[in-house]
Amino acid sequence: MKGSPGVTTAALALAARWPDGEPIVVEADPAGGDLTARFRLPTTPGVVSLAAAARRHPSAELLFEHSQRLPGGLPVVVGPVAAEQAHAALDVLAQRGLRALRAAARSPETAVLVDVGRLDAASPALPLVRGADALVVMTRPRADELSHVAAMMESVSTWTRTPGLVLIGDGHSRAEVEHELG
């Protein structure tokens, strides 16, 4: 089910204001992508074609070869709308495409921002997160959503060296959030 609090929008905004080089956003949400509908883009090239190509030849150039440009020029690798297709493509990327993503991310001219939607230990996008330079968890400051973040706090520290938390919208105060998350 969709419902991450502005993750795709935040990834696009961050990439649009990236200070150096050319950022690229990869829409790797297992629940399905939003960018094709939001910007009326074709579904190909995108994550599905990237996953297929990564099976044969994982290279840094693949990311840009399977990207499209948003109005304003930001390159994005769009995810499929259907969750089933997104899961299948992410399974392949997790097995065969990590080298291509990491190669692109190692380039000093490129920043790779990956939108993985709702993240948990069973997500097919988790291998894309492991070893990332940073992970930003976004949530609303409400008890129901914070309880999910609290439950995964220990795991998050094993997924990346630099986890961060961004609170979106109204709800608990910072002190209440700190208390809730321990």
Residues 112-158 have pLDDT tens digits of 999 999 888 889 999 999 878 899 999 889 888 888 889 888 888 88
CA distance 102 to 153: 25
Model pLDDT for residues 28-48, shown as the tens digit of each residue: 999 999 999 999 999 999 999
Pairing status of strand 22-27 against strand 68-69 = unpaired
Residues 78 and 43: beta-carbon distance below 8 Å: yes
Q: What is the pLDDT of residue 5?
A: 67
Q: Are 181 and 149 in contact (CB under 8 A)?
A: yes
Q: Give pTM, 2 decimals.
A: 0.91
Q: What is the CA radius of gyration of the chain?
A: 16
